[in-house]
């Protein structure tokens, strides 16, 4: 993977900020741009063993990032709540990526629904939404995410042209099958794709 221009991290949990993986990518991509939440910049720098200035910060309160051909907009994420640091910066974020004003992709990061979420996302006219569907159960003892039915409804509510489920079938203790997501998408007439590992999807 020596052809990567940009990688993003939504928060500092290991499955979203893996030091070994990102360290190897940095080694073989010397000009790699690594985008992290402003609130997590110092933590991320320590985990990746790089200077904080090597990482590009982003936050919903800050201007969008221009990384040609992309424009990145940070939006809050609630994993399980919208948590802020002492400076009022989001510890968990999602990203809306606009590609040369032709299409927009929303990757929510780890999130649940929160007040104002739909109103925040609707203006972006999302073409493709990538949403977690592993849900939340107290006995898992980890922060939760959207259930499949919630992900389908969110995609419908924000007017996403297509939604792809993610964040499932990775950890045995923290997963859900996409069946509920599929049923709700079909009930709502929400376009969706369920991809298999390694399958390619073109926007």
CB atoms inside a 10 Å sphere around CB 19: 14
- Is the per-residue pLDDT at 173 higher than 60? no
Tell me the H-state helices in 70-171.
117-121, 148-158
Give the chain's mean pLDDT.
Answer: 91
Q: Are 58 and 35 in contact (CB under 8 A)?
A: yes
Q: What is the pLDDT of residue 79?
A: 83
Domain boundaries, the chain: 102-203
pLDDT-derived band at 198 (thresholds 50, 70, 90) equals confident
Pick the closest to residue 173 from 135, 121, 146, 120 (CA basis): 135
Residue for token digits 């904080």? Answer: 52
Query: Side by side, which strands form the sheet with 65-67?
Result: 65-67, 70-76, 93-99, 103-107, 128-132, 162-166
- Is the per-residue pLDDT at 178 higher than 90? no
Q: What is the pLDDT of residue 140?
A: 64
Residues 83-138 pLDDT 10s: 999 999 999 999 999 998 789 999 999 999 999 999 999 999 999 999 999 876 66
Q: What is the pLDDT of residue 136?
A: 67
Q: What is the pLDDT of residue 174?
A: 52
- Which fold does the domain 102-203 belong to in CATH? Metallo-beta-lactamase; Chain A (3.60.15)
Residues 41-80 pLDDT 10s: 999 999 999 999 999 999 999 999 999 999 999 999 998 8
Structure tokens at 16: 């979203």
* d(C-alpha 177, C-alpha 168), whole Å: 7
Q: What is the pLDDT of residue 144?
A: 77
Q: What is the pLDDT of residue 15?
A: 79
Residues 132-162 pLDDT 10s: 998 766 666 666 789 899 999 999 999 999 9
What is the model's pTM?
0.91
């Amino acid at each position: 993977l020596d052809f990567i221009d940009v990688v993003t991290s939504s928060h500092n949990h290991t499955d979203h900020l893996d030091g070994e993986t990102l360290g190897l990518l940095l080694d073989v991509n010397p000009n790699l741009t690594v985008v992290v939440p402003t609130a997590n910049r110092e933590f991320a720098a320590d985990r990746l063993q790089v200077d904080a200035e090597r990482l590009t910060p982003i936050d919903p309160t800050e201007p969008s990032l221009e990384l040609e051909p992309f424009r990145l907009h940070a939006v809050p994420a609630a994993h399980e709540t919208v948590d802020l640091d002492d400076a009022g910066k989001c510890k968990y974020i999602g990203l809306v990526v606009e590609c040369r004003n032709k299409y927009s992709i929303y990757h929510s990061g780890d999130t649940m629904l929160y007040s104002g979420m739909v109103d925040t996302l609707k203006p972006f006219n999302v073409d493709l939404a990538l949403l977690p569907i592993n849900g939340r159960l107290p006995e898992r003892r980890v922060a939760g995410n959207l259930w499949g039915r919630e992900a389908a409804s969110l995609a419908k509510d924000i007017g996403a042209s297509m939604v792809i489920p993610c964040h499932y079938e990775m950890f045995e203790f923290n997963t859900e099958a996409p069946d509920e997501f599929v049923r709700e998408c079909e009930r709502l007439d929400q376009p969706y794709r369920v991809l298999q590992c390694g399958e390619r999807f073109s926007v």
